[in-house]
């Protein structure tokens, strides 16, 4: 009896979330940042009249005039994927090893060869961010995302979807329009369902909620936090699952790789979501690192293991390592970078639920870091000339050791 009651209330809450409807009882407000929805509403929820249709992507005006041009294969080889690359070894280990990419590089043969020979996954660096994919209230522009997915199909790459809910990359029509809370819920629901159902079955994993936390472990005061409240997190996961039941749904963040206040809060939130029956499948560790002060192997492993003990996957989603703000010799810096890549990759191999390792970009030539910091940098596994760096060889060594 007690058991039955424990399950009924979360189920009713999920039913309420899934309706995306207006006029529902509001979600209980959360005081403790680590728990997004209350499990014990004071009153028994009443039967809910759903307004599901209003958030059914099929009823939304999708943009039609923007053709998505699938790229044509730019090289043909009877042995397209050489042996003894990261890709060939990762394939045999059921591991995804990916790089963030952009369809605009897909006519660059050097880029395409490196990406498709060395990686079995491509992550969507920008093409599915809100300002690109949903630039006007009634217009979804899937052209860049579709081109990337088509490219991935040609070369048999898995696609890592990024990002459904974030605090950046919103067009002004989103941020500068005033709406009621119910209208904000409706807007987010429509966006998530439209995008995820457009790519249904084609995305291995989605970063559903990205960078939701401050470093002290409190929830960031993002647009969605302000307009909807902390319940936005659970809602987003629920809507994504309804629109694409097979994608792995990920809570993604940075500076939460080791053991600290932020990773503690992420752990508690994920645990709370699972207890409430919210469909979360894993936690993403962005792994944007600085040369000095990366997490120790011990704390990285401890954090990965406690998450996998919750029955969650753990993904390395955006790894890169900035070097150029440090003044040491280039040998010291390269050694430190190499060692950190080795430790992170080795930790991923040691934890069975670490199934994805993605670097945020393919080569130093296309890294986002110089634009972000204003300084040149070399944060990735391949250099400006597409040549492997020492960190690449360490990763290859670790992969090869798996077969000895
Ligand atoms: C970055 C892209 O790499 C840049 O090209 C873009 O100008 C800004 O966003 N964390 C994230 C990513 O989750 O979406 C960010 O990507 C890098 C930090």
- Residue-wise DSSP of 311-362: T-EEEEEEEEEE-TTS-S-HHHHHHHHHHHHHHHHHHHHHSTTEEEEEESSS
CA of 249 to the centre of ligand 1 (A): 19
Annotated active-site residue 5? The verdict is: no
* Cβ 210 under 6 angstroms from ligand 1: yes
CA of 285 to the centre of ligand 1 (A): 14
pLDDT digits (tens, 9 = 90+) for 88-118: 999 999 999 999 997 778 889 999 999 999 9
pLDDT at residue 92, as a whole number = 95
Return the structure tokens found at 83.
């042996």
**Domain locations in the chain as residue ranges:** 2-401
**56, 87 Cβ separation under 8 angstroms:** no
214/220 Cα distance (integer angstroms): 5
pLDDT at residue 106, as a whole number = 85
**124, 160 Cβ separation under 8 angstroms:** yes
Locate the ligand 1 atom nearest the alpha carbon of residue 163 and give its number. 14
Return the structure tokens found at 63.
């943009």
Pocket test for ligand 1, best of 126, 144, 284, 373 (most atoms within 8 A of CB): 126
* Cβ 85 under 6 angstroms from ligand 1: no
Is 64's pLDDT higher than 80? no
pLDDT at residue 326, as a whole number = 76
pLDDT at residue 312, as a whole number = 98
* Cβ 378 under 6 angstroms from ligand 1: no
CA of 146 to the centre of ligand 1 (A): 19
Is 37's pLDDT higher than 50? no
pLDDT digits (tens, 9 = 90+) for 245-296: 999 999 999 999 999 999 999 999 999 999 999 999 999 999 999 998 899 9
Residue 47: is it exposed, middle or buried by C-beta count within 10 angstroms (0-12/13-18/19+)? exposed
pLDDT at residue 82, as a whole number = 79
Sole residue written with tokens 């293991």: 305
**223, 267 Cβ separation under 8 angstroms:** no
Of 130 and 9, the one with more pLDDT? 130
Is 138's pLDDT higher than 90? yes
CA of 368 to the centre of ligand 1 (A): 7
CATH fold of 2-401: TIM Barrel (3.20.20)
pLDDT at residue 55, as a whole number = 64
Residue 16: is it exposed, middle or buried by C-beta count within 10 angstroms (0-12/13-18/19+)? buried
Mean pLDDT for all residues in the chain? 85
* Cβ 257 under 6 angstroms from ligand 1: no
Annotated active-site residue 64? The verdict is: no
Return the structure tokens found at 296.
């120790």
Return the structure tokens found at 41.
């509403």
pLDDT digits (tens, 9 = 90+) for 297-316: 999 999 999 999 999 999 99
pLDDT at residue 324, as a whole number = 84
Q: How many CA atoms lie within 13 A of 150 on its CB side?
A: 16
Predicted TM-score of the model (pTM): 0.86
Band (pLDDT 50/70/90 cuts) for residue 44 is: very low
pLDDT digits (tens, 9 = 90+) for 262-272: 999 999 999 99
* Cβ 125 under 6 angstroms from ligand 1: yes
* Cβ 196 under 6 angstroms from ligand 1: no
Question: DSSP string covering 348-372, please?
Answer: HHHSTTEEEEEESSSBGGG-SHHHH
| CA-to-CA separations, 274 to 6, 43, 310, 364, in angstroms, rounded | 13, 23, 8, 38
């Amino acid at each position: 009896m007690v058991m039955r009651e424990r399950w009924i209330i979360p189920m009713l809450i999920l039913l309420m979330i899934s309706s995306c409807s207006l006029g529902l009882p509001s979600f209980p407000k959360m005081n403790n940042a680590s728990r997004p929805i209350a499990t014990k509403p004071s009153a028994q929820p009443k039967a809910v009249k759903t307004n599901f249709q209003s958030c059914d992507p099929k009823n939304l005006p999708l943009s039609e005039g923007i053709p998505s041009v699938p790229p044509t294969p730019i090289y043909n080889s009877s042995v397209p994927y050489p042996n003894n690359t990261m890709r060939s070894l990762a394939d045999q280990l059921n591991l995804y090893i990916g790089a963030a990419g952009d369809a605009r590089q897909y006519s660059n043969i050097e880029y395409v060869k490196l990406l498709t020979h060395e990686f079995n996954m491509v992550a969507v660096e920008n093409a599915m961010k809100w300002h690109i994919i949903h630039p006007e209230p009634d217009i979804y522009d899937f052209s860049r995302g579709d081109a990337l997915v088509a490219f991935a199909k040609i070369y048999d790459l898995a696609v890592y979807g990024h990002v459904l809910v974030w605090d950046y990359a919103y067009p002004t029509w989103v941020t500068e329009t005033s709406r009621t809370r119910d209208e904000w819920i409706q807007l987010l629901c429509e966006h998530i369902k439209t995008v995820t159902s457009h790519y249904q079955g084609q995305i291995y994993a989605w970063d559903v909620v990205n960078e939701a936390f401050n470093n002290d472990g409190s929830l960031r005061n993002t647009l969605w936090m302000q307009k909807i409240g902390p319940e936005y997190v659970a809602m987003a996961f629920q809507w994504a699952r309804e629109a694409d039941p097979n994608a792995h749904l990920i809570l993604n963040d940075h500076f939460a790789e080791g053991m600290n206040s932020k990773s503690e809060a992420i752990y508690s939130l994920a645990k709370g979501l699972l207890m409430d029956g919210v469909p979360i499948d894993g936690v993403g560790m962005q792994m944007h690192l600085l040369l000095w002060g990366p997490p120790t192997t011990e704390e990285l492993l401890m954090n990965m293991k406690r998450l996998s003990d919750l029955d969650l996957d753990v993904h390395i989603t955006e790894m890169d390592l900035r070097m150029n703000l440090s003044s040491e010799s280039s040998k010291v810096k390269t050694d430190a970078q190499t060692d950190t890549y080795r430790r992170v990759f080795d930790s991923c191999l040691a934890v069975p639920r670490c199934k994805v390792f993605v670097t945020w970009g393919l080569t130093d030539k296309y890294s986002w870091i110089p634009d972000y910091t204003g300084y040149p940098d070399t944060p990735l596994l391949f250099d400006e000339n597409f040549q492997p760096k020492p960190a690449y060889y360490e990763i290859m060594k670790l992969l090869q050791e798996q077969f000895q």
